[in-house]
Structure 1
Amino acid sequence: MQSRALRHLFFAERAARKIPGLGRDTAARNVEKVGVLGVGTMGSGIAMSFANAGFPVRLVETSQEALDRGTGLIARAYASTVKRGLLREEDAQARISAMTGSTDMSDLSDCDLVVEAVFEDMDLKLSVARKLGGICKPGAIIATNTSTLDVDRIAQVTGRASDVLGTHFFSPAHIMRLLEVVRGKDTAPDVLETVMGLARKIGKTAVVSGVCYGFIGNRMAEVYMRESEAMQLEGATPSQIDGVVENPAHLGLAMGPSRMLDMAGVDVGARTVIEWIKGGEGPKDPAYRILCRTMFERGLHGQKTGGGYYRYEGRQAVHSDETEALSRELAQAYGIVRRDSISYEEIFERLLFPMINEAALILEEGIAYRPDDIDVVWTSGYGFPAWRGGPVFMADEIGLDRIVTRMDHYAEALGNAHGYWTVSPLLRRLAEAGKRLSDWQNKS
């Protein structure tokens, strides 16, 4: 299986470059200078990605203090790379010298591509997008770096939606391979062609996604986190769940959901969910990811605060009595029955099978062009083991009939008031026909 999985990914990454509607006659726009608006953790990494590829980069922040913080992040990242012997000092200095800073947004007016990397808040993104629409020169591309937000809505307020798309870089942006390129309904073909070409120049594995909450990767990750937290309210511990995910006999990811969110910041994940629900598009379930949202309110933000799903002794994650008590408290408040034990098999199925079901929905809706693209996203950006081929490849190895049967089982056993266990029509159809999800092709 491992050999087949790796061959599958080899061809899948090459297929991801082929975009329907983009022919050989689609000429790319000329990009010589790049602007980055917002030089925090994400923006600094994005700026380094372009500087590393030889592009001059204009950095813009709201204040000199914020700009100094951002350039400090960049300097420290390069210093670390030099110290590890991965880059010569003179090369690091040349890349730093290719970046110029400003606190005036109008200094982006001569850039051919501007990547907006401000905080993941829709009101802020809309405000910035309106300004960029007037500041950027004709023909310049405006890219919004977002992990979940509606790119079409952001594009519309610029007054030049055909010049806009989404770029979902992964943190740290100068290291992580994956780039989800989000094609809006009005994105011009040459804009998409240009950014896909730039992705290759800056060493990224690019996959095109349509517009929806979370795009391809985070939309699937959302149901994974949902079930992880639901099982914690039902009585499983973070270490039990992470143990199944990290065990090569089950999934074999480098990090389970609770460790991952503690490292990334519980506050970051919670704000995304809160924004989604506040916008009216998120689940109407009052208990939806209530553990994460309550931890955020109580200041349990993960490693950086010393406590999240785990308690931290330095960098070591240990069991948190506080979080276990919170899980009990929330279970009682929301009428969730706790159990003495949840089996490894149930943990595995409840984490993976809803993700596969979501992948089928993503394909049905045309968010992803092909099943292989989903596997590239998860192996390049989320630590899914390449030797497993990705979640779609793994689904075919398990058997779609088993997945559908178990989804139906959990719908009955746990209840399905909010549609969490409703099987995708595509997945059920393929299972009944004895076909593979990997072989499905969008005929529209």
Structure 2
Amino acid sequence: MTYFIDRRPNAKHKSAVNRQRFLERYRKHIKRSVEEAVNRRSITDMERGEKVSIPAKDIAEPVFQHGHGGERSIVAPGNKEFVEGDKIRRPDGQGGGGGAGEGGASNQGEGMDEFAFTLSREEFLEFVFDGLELPHLQRKPLKSMEEVKMVRAGLAREGVPSRISITRSMREAYARRIAMRAPIKRALREAEAALTAEERKDPVLRNPARISELIAEIERLKKRIEAVPFIDTYDLRYHQLQAQPQPSSKAVMFCVMDVSGSMTQHHKDIAKRFFLLLYLFLEKHYEKVELVFVRHHTTAREVGEEEFFYSRETGGTIVSSALTLVNNIIETRYPPNQWNLYVAQASDGDNWDDDSGTCRELLVKELMPQLQYYTYVEITPHDHQSLWQEYENVAAQFPERFAMRKIVEAGEIYPVFRELFKRRLSQAG
């Protein structure tokens, strides 16, 4: 005999479903508040939540109330203004509250504040990166057997309780009860029919011993039917899981930043904020994305995250050194047939004139055939220089996979970022 006892504790955060329903209902208001928060705070402060306010009038719902019907006669003690037959004017405002629900000042000294609540870090980042993704993410061939997914592989009679199939177990129990009870019920019907036939005989011909025997047999058969268990260990069925190899969807993002002498501290701060936003975006949505940080002036070096953002090293500007280094890293560590490759570059556009053509050649012949997406952000209030012009030629040859935008002030980082990584309806890699 097997018994099912549900000892699962009540789940925590019981209002989680209602909270998600509320966030979805007022998504427009919340998203507007999140965008204002992104423009207001620094990108390094993006990981905390945000307090969001919704006007009370937008969350008000109609309420049906039972009114007083017919004619009413009342006596108001201390009345000095009205006499019998006068009509009393309905109070202004909602529900006769003298301005309640308007959210503003009232001469009644009453009002209603905006509804305020706090978004968690996960909810805040979900709204920040809503509708964004890595463009042209492709499924690559199998890299190794390490990347697997557990999938269901039928049912078995043995397994762990967490994988029990309730529906199939109950079906097996029902079939077993039918099979075990069928011959007993058939014998019971025959015994009851024999007892009825014996009782209908003439009293002289009736056999009392036979009647007692049939009654005992009927009681025995009924007990056998009741003894058939509702569910037995034999009935239990368990879901079986097996490891199924999965195609690799790994990606690597190359963050390339110009740290030459022409890059002022203001330019570097904007570039750092752009890459920090990019890092949070990748961390939020993609678990299998690697980051490679490349700094360059006259020479390029692969550095760690700390040095990438905070090192004070500077020099001239040769952008091709960074592109060459990126290409070498791809050849040695990230085969294009196994990785999705992305590059994000931030610069002020200043470069040696002769080097800009070299950059175009490197991109067209070496990098772009291997990359899924390349983004170039130019941080400058001035006119575009030779590097931008050469990159326009690259964008003309790869319109779907090469994007370039200009940023002047820090407030433009988030809109530009959303434009660069907005979700596309159709993706071609």
Name the TM tier (shorter chain): under 0.3
Q: How high is the TM-score relative to the length of structure 2? A: 0.21
Q: How high is the TM-score relative to the length of structure 1? A: 0.20
More helix by share: 1
Larger radius of gyration: 2
